[in-house]
Amino acid sequence: MTLSETKAGAQPAPVVMLQGASKSFGALKAMDHVDLSVAPGESLGLVGHNGAGKSTLVNLVTGLFAPTSGQVVYPGAADHAAAGIRAISQEGTLCPNLTVLENLQVVQRDLTGWGWRRLAARRIRAALDAVFPGHRIRPDMLVADMTLAEQQMVEIAIGFADGPVPARLVVLDEPTSALDASIAAELLAHIRRFCAKGGAAIFISHMLGEVFDVADRIVVMRDGRIMADRPAADFTRQGLVDAMGHVADEDHQPTPAALARVLGDKSHAILRTPEGIEARKGEVVGLAGLAGHGQAEALARFYLSQRSDWRSSARPRAAFVAGDRRRDGLMPVWSITRNLTLAALETLTRHGLIDREAEARIGADWQRRIGIRTPDMNNPILSLSGGNQQKALFARALATSAPVVVMDDPMRGVDIGTKTEVYEMIRAEAANGRTFLWYSTEMDEIRNCDRVFVFRNGAISAELEGDRITEENVLAASFEFGEDAA
């Protein structure tokens, strides 16, 4: 921190200052006492693995949330808008039903009255010309009709466009994910020009080559804290990856299937997906990498290919455990038992009717085995804590006879006690010959796997096995090193 303080002494006041800023979501501490300031002309690279707190930091800087404690100060301005802070997020903040210039209007409030279209067209065209010379986007094009890359270019141009308050700090969260290399290079060049003219930028990317290209200072985050904050020149690529990871590496016991294979068992894979994921009977296979790089899609494709669209079967070939409970998992008004037995319903029917006694028996059995904490399994599912809801969803999958269980980051937002119990359960089930496909964004979970496929940009970038499953290797495969891709 001393470095930026001396810098701030020589230079004009910073654009934004975080002073001991923390942010919690319930019990989860997403950011813990972070001090950071960004001065005009500075280009800051921000790196870290999933859940390191990058997004939280961005959302605090761009004023989307207020900190739980500590403060975010914009010297010389009342709020983020007046300070000229612009956010270019990776999740798409364009309205597809509007044209390019109309989308600028959504963000810039001074575009009203007669002639606003002409003014908006001029601003967005100027920004597009400046960032992406030779682009072929017209301001009156409908966003829905444009390619993903063009939409991303428009989003970036809106971030840099002239407006009622000029842009002073532009936050770019994975801005190049949809762009090809030459367009991305134009963006990086523009960021450097922007900063040379006194603008500031915060740049997040999984391509470390890009971060080194554009940043003159790099901040490494881990577990909601800043682990390193130094000029980019002081980092090596390896040093950066090391700073992102934990040092301690606990050992883990392989499953019997993995042991057998080490001892020379050459049994064939029981499943293979078009992406190249392979798993053998009784194996716990992990899908790792940064969130949103195609893991969930690969799982969904595999799961949907394993079942009929038309009828359900008493002997499904795969069962699914949802990560986004509310969207993909829970039946919110049903009881715990009914939620739990949903996937195994076909085995519980007699003459087309549900055997209530058998249902209750299965419910009670799994309550005991997986430890769902409730006085009565007939209580509504929402009466449970998040972790226990997730256990019920686990039990739903395990109560089927499916040989493969697909898990889409199921431990999101679950307490550590529940996690440990479920890990035990997974190992026990794997020992009984079940195969698990496990997408996880958390490193400790990935280390529980026998084999790990790391995803990057929708494809597998590395396959790790046994001792090679280390945080370092996973991180190295998750991030791209520019030309010499790992």
Partner 1 sequence: MKGSINARLALPVLSLAVLIVAVFWLQPRAMSYVGINLLFNLAVPIALATVAQMIIIMVNDIDLSMGAFVSLIACITATILPGSPLLGVAMLAGCVLAYAALGALIEARQLPAIVVTLGMSFVWAGAAVLILPSPGGTSPGWLTAIMKSKPPLVPMAIIASVVIAGVAHLIIMRSAFGVRLRALGGNARAVSRAGRSTVMLKATAYALAGVFAVLAGMALVGLTTSGDANIAIRYTLLSIAGVILGGGEFTGGRVSPIGAVIGALTLTLAGSFLSFLRLSPDWQIGAQGAILILVLAARLLVRQAEKRP
Applying CB under 8 A, among 96, 133, 332, 433 the residue interacting with partner 1 is 96
Report the nearest approach of partner 1 to the CB of residue 121 (Å): 11
Residue 166 touching partner 1 (CB under 8 A) = no
Report the nearest approach of partner 1 to the CB of residue 92 (Å): 8
The smaller minimum CB distance to partner 1, of residues 109 and 468, is found at 109
The smaller minimum CB distance to partner 1, of residues 81 and 130, is found at 81
Residue 98 touching partner 1 (CB under 8 A) = yes
The smaller minimum CB distance to partner 1, of residues 2 and 147, is found at 147
Residue 97 touching partner 1 (CB under 8 A) = yes
Where does residue 291 rank: exposed (0-12), middle (13-18), buried (19+ CB within 10 A)? middle
Beta-sheet strands, E only, within 181-279: 200-204, 217-222, 225-231, 271-272, 278-279
Report the nearest approach of partner 1 to the CB of residue 114 (Å): 10
Applying CB under 8 A, among 1, 76, 82, 140 the residue interacting with partner 1 is 140
- The tokens 């690529």 sit on which residue? 237
Report the nearest approach of partner 1 to the CB of residue 467 (Å): 44
Q: How far apart are CA 27 and CA 21, in angstroms?
A: 16
Report the nearest approach of partner 1 to the CB of residue 217 (Å): 27
The smaller minimum CB distance to partner 1, of residues 43 and 108, is found at 108
Residues recorded for the chain: 486
Size of site (CB under 8 A) for partner 1: 27
Q: How far apart are CA 210 and CA 231, in angstroms?
A: 15
The smaller minimum CB distance to partner 1, of residues 37 and 55, is found at 55
Applying CB under 8 A, among 3, 13, 66, 95 the residue interacting with partner 1 is 95
By C-alpha distance, which of 177, 68, 163 is closest to 120?
A: 163
Applying CB under 8 A, among 5, 129, 145, 234 the residue interacting with partner 1 is 145
Note whether 475 and 241 are within 8 A (CB). yes
The smaller minimum CB distance to partner 1, of residues 66 and 106, is found at 106
- Binding segment for partner 1 (CB under 8 A), chosen from 140-148, 168-176, 210-218, 416-424, is 140-148
By C-alpha distance, which of 27, 113, 105, 19 is closest to 67?
A: 19
What lies within 8 Å, CB to CB, of 293 at 6+ separation is 206, 455, 456, 457, 458, 478
By C-alpha distance, which of 209, 222, 258, 247 is closest to 471?
A: 247
Note whether 83 and 323 are within 8 A (CB). no
- For 210, the enclosing helix (H) or strand (E) is helix 208-214
CA torsion 265-268-271-277 (nearest 10°) is 70
Interface positions, 37-66, toward partner 1 (CB under 8 A) = 64
Q: How far apart are CA 432 and CA 420, in angstroms?
A: 19
Contact mark string toward partner 1, 101..130, x via CB under 8 A: -xx-xxx-x-xxx--xx-------------
Report the nearest approach of partner 1 to the CB of residue 96 (Å): 6
In single-letter form, the type of residue at position 187 comes to: L
The smaller minimum CB distance to partner 1, of residues 114 and 310, is found at 114
- Residue 201's φ and ψ, nearest 5 degrees, are -140, 145
Residue 77 touching partner 1 (CB under 8 A) = no
Interacting residues with partner 1 (CB under 8 A): 64, 81, 87, 92-99, 102-103, 105-107, 109, 111-113, 116-117, 140-142, 144-145
